[in-house]
Amino acid sequence: MPNTTVRIRVRMTARPIDEPHRVSSQLELLFDLTFVVAVAAVTEQLAHTIAAGHADVLPFLQVFFAIWWAWMNFTWFASSYDTDDIAYRVLTLVQMAGVLLLAAGVPAAADHGDYTVVTTGYLIMRLGLISLWLRAGIEDPKYRRTAFRYAIGIGALQVGWFLRLYLANTGASASVLLVAFIVLAALEWSVPLWAERPRATTWHPHHIAERYGLFTIILLGEAVLASSNAVRRAVEETHVSVDLIAVAASGLVMLFALWWLYFLHPAGPGLEDRRNRSYRWGYGHYVIFASLAALGAGLEVAVEQTGHGLHLSETAASYAVAVPASCFLASLWAVHTMIADSSRVHLVAASAGVAVLLLLPLGTPSVGPVVDLALMAATCVTLVGVASWHENFRQSDRTESSVSTE
């Protein structure tokens, strides 16, 4: 029987890089559930703006950055310093509360440009993480400089975010606020690079790969939920039609194919062999994750357009799915090549897939999302077939080479 006793206090020291059987903890899984709420909120808002004919992509990308960055920072910290004692659990709870507050502020941010609640929720999340880094610095002298650098860098940037909020509340222009966001986001990205110069933290490659995979599944689940809700509303308002079933089925097949492509190449071994590329791999997932969230919104729009019609062109509804799916394929290939050997077959397949997805709505302007989504799903399934065949071929070639060498 596993030991379920809560430890009152455990000295916070760096965990081993090669710790065997390292998997996500129950606390990490609970932590992820709060992000389900936040992602659902931002996806729903994006779907509403697309359906209204004016996709507010910038607010979506900004709020999603706050969600993703807070999740990612805690994930990498936990991979190095998870003690699972009472203080650690309480500070994790603080961050979970911040996520839920941020989610509550998404409608105001999307509809009125009011980021007060979003920023406050983000601050609460960051205060919890700052406290954890301070504790790590105090209790682990070997990594003290690194931990304190994290605490200082994260803390200083919170002042910057509140200055941006002050500018927004005093009537600053949208361009000024956008520039401020870009600068602050770039500084956020630079904190880990600066903090780990004295000594790199001991994150576990297979644990990190699993955590990113779990968040990918969460985003795919949100896409399934978004399209399911749209189907339910369409059924309630009209009736079940062949077109509605076809669009829903195509969306499900597409999501399944994208899941297959993401998990076709295990990231753990690559991160273990190329730890120096972990920053680019981790940061590159922003595009992957944001694409999946936007794809959920696009599928919801496509279902609603088919079910009862929207004040939106058929081509625009198709592109609400095609654009995020294309971004996912391109970013997935780019991220994979950072930790694994590049392949011309995969590059050609990814490029062809992106081209087909983006050109399909233009080539079929009168058929609408029903045919477009079916063709998009077929394209993604084809990519799965090509990538799987090539991986099996390469694996067989490696096995034969190993046998001949012996």
pLDDT at residue 2 above 50? no
pLDDT at position 98 is 95
pLDDT band at 405 (very low <50, low <70, confident <90, very high): low
pLDDT at residue 87 above 60? yes
Q: What is the mean pLDDT of residues 196-224?
A: 94
pLDDT at residue 258 above 80? yes
Q: Which of 62-76, 83-97, 233-247 has the lowest mean pLDDT?
A: 233-247
Q: Which structure tokens are listed for 83?
A: 């003690």
pLDDT band at 339 (very low <50, low <70, confident <90, very high): confident
Distances in whole angstroms, Cα of residue 134 to Cα of each of 204, 307, 310: 21, 53, 52
Q: What is the mean pLDDT of residues 178-206?
A: 95
Q: What is the mean pLDDT of residues 93-104?
A: 95
- HSE toward the beta carbon, residue 132, CA cutoff 13 A: 31
The domain segmentation of the chain, as residue ranges, is: 26-195, 205-405
Q: What is the mean pLDDT of residues 240-245?
A: 80
pLDDT at position 199 is 93
Q: Which of 61-65, 105-109, 110-114 has the lowest mean pLDDT?
A: 110-114
Residue-by-residue DSSP string for 74-111: HHHHHHHH---BHHHHHHHHHHHHHHHHHHHTHHHHHH
Q: What is the mean pLDDT of residues 65-85?
A: 95
pLDDT band at 399 (very low <50, low <70, confident <90, very high): low
How many residues does the structure list for the chain? 406
pLDDT at position 244 is 83
Angle (deg, nearest 10), helices 369-405 and 242-262: 30
pLDDT band at 144 (very low <50, low <70, confident <90, very high): very high
Angle (deg, nearest 10), helices 26-51 and 205-237: 40
Query: What phi and psi, each to the nearest 5 degrees, are found at residue 54?
Result: -140, 80
Task: State whether residue 163 is helix, strand or coil.
Answer: helix
pTM above 0.85, yes or no: yes
> Residues 13-31: pLDDT tens digits?
999 998 998 999 999 999 9
pLDDT at position 251 is 92
pLDDT at residue 395 above 70? no
Q: What is the DSSP letter of 147?
A: H
Q: Are the CB atoms for 258 and 380 separated by under 8 Å?
A: yes
pLDDT band at 1 (very low <50, low <70, confident <90, very high): very low
Please tell me which residue, 4 or 369, carries the higher pLDDT value. 369
Measured distance CA(347)–CA(337) in Å, rounded: 10
